[in-house]
Structure 1
């Protein structure tokens, strides 16, 4: 019977499927799953109230998996906006995932592109943040990939369960509430988590003001303008505050 030890590089590969690490990731993300499911429920209701059929709504939640982008695109779809406007709005809303990808890339650059693509699809704001808290160092570590999966997979399931429930329960919401009711709840869900500092607060306030002032623009372009101007405002304020902190 051979007693040769496993090669050192194999023993320290960060993508070892470690059950303990997966359970640790699951336990870390568990407190967030109820909120994710509730957020998905709101988006599911909003899709149905926007006029999407059940198959269309199911396809959107399974393929897109981006609540804020889905909600941002719904008023544009209702208004029969050009496809490029819908895609541009969704792209701007989801630009933060470019940053998330850049942060995760050094940890998993060794994985095949198909696997990295799949992980990118199931990634979420909270899961990426929790992972980086646990593994701030980019060096290989046992169980790193399993920990990430323990965060991301339950998060994806919670979202889909909530969203699909919202799709099928959407018809039970009183018609007079309409998309406005679901949209109001959704906007609250979007904006509250974003207000993490003064820069974010300024961005949210400016975006809200622009959205109201530009509400009359065709194809709901006021929404796109509000998102872009709000993001620029937040970045300018953050940079200004950093410069002020650096002054003697």
Structure 2
């Protein structure tokens, strides 16, 4: 890849992120609808959307709240799902650790599955880019994603029950994660972690309050780390 200026990197990230709006929009719209149907008011739904910006944990927390799960379980489940954000941040550190503090703060706020996946792939493909170009790419990828997520959630509040069930907006949830995860399964450790999470989720699906999420995620991280350790120990 040719040398990239911050300006060209920004627009490259912007163009790369555009296809994700096809699923991010319905995903956000669905949360707006489900949130209002669950009894949350406008401020609560938008607070969820703007402050958390993590659809999977938002839906999980909302479902547990509807099931009257203990507050500790709601918080622990949401945090467990969002642990991946800590790993995202750690993998960004070599690339963006020298960016200005205000940029790192914004990146931390907008570091979601889509912006991470796109940016990390770009950094891996062209690691010699300047820090400014790498930050610009991330902000370019964030420009279509974040406003669409927030705007779609707000629209979901407004339209609410006017959306017919036949539209099946929940298609956006699995499609989003399939599109993100599949290209990332590049090593045996990645595959082992993914398979472990699937198997554990199926085996532990009977647990109340979606506790299978906690155990499946923990088991997947342990298996993935152990496989990577053993592969690294090979001569």
TM-score norm. by structure 1 comes to 0.74
Residues 86-101 of structure 1 mapped to structure 2, 5 A cutoff: 86-101=74-89
Residues 1-248 of structure 1 mapped to structure 2, 5 A cutoff: 18-136=6-124, 137=127, 140=130, 143-173=133-163, 185=171, 188-189=174-175, 192-193=178-179, 194=181, 197=191, 199-211=193-205, 213-215=206-208, 220=209, 223=210, 225-238=211-224, 243=230
Change over 3 Å in CA distance of 1:120–1:66 after alignment to 2 = same
Change over 3 Å in CA distance of 1:119–1:236 after alignment to 2 = closer
Query: 8 Å contact 1:73–1:86 — kept in the other structure?
Result: yes
Return the structure number with greater helix share: 2
Aligned residue pairs total: 220
CA displacement, residues 67-107 of structure 1 (integer Å, 9 cap, x when unaligned) = 01100100222234343322211110000010110111222
Paired with 2:147 and 2:128, the residues of 1 have a C-alpha distance of 27
Paired with 2:221 and 2:131, the residues of 1 have a C-alpha distance of 34
Query: 8 Å contact 2:99–2:131 — kept in the other structure?
Result: no
Query: 8 Å contact 1:54–1:168 — kept in the other structure?
Result: no
How far the C-alpha of 1:244 sits from its partner, in A, is: 8.3
Unpaired stretches in structure 2, ≥5 consecutive residues: 186-190
Unpaired stretches in structure 1, ≥5 consecutive residues: 1-11
Change over 3 Å in CA distance of 1:186–1:22 after alignment to 2 = closer
Paired with 2:106 and 2:24, the residues of 1 have a C-alpha distance of 20
Paired with 2:222 and 2:94, the residues of 1 have a C-alpha distance of 28
TM-score norm. by structure 2 comes to 0.78
Paired with 1:201 and 1:166, the residues of 2 have a C-alpha distance of 34
Runs of 4+ in 1 over 6 A off after TM superposition: 244-248
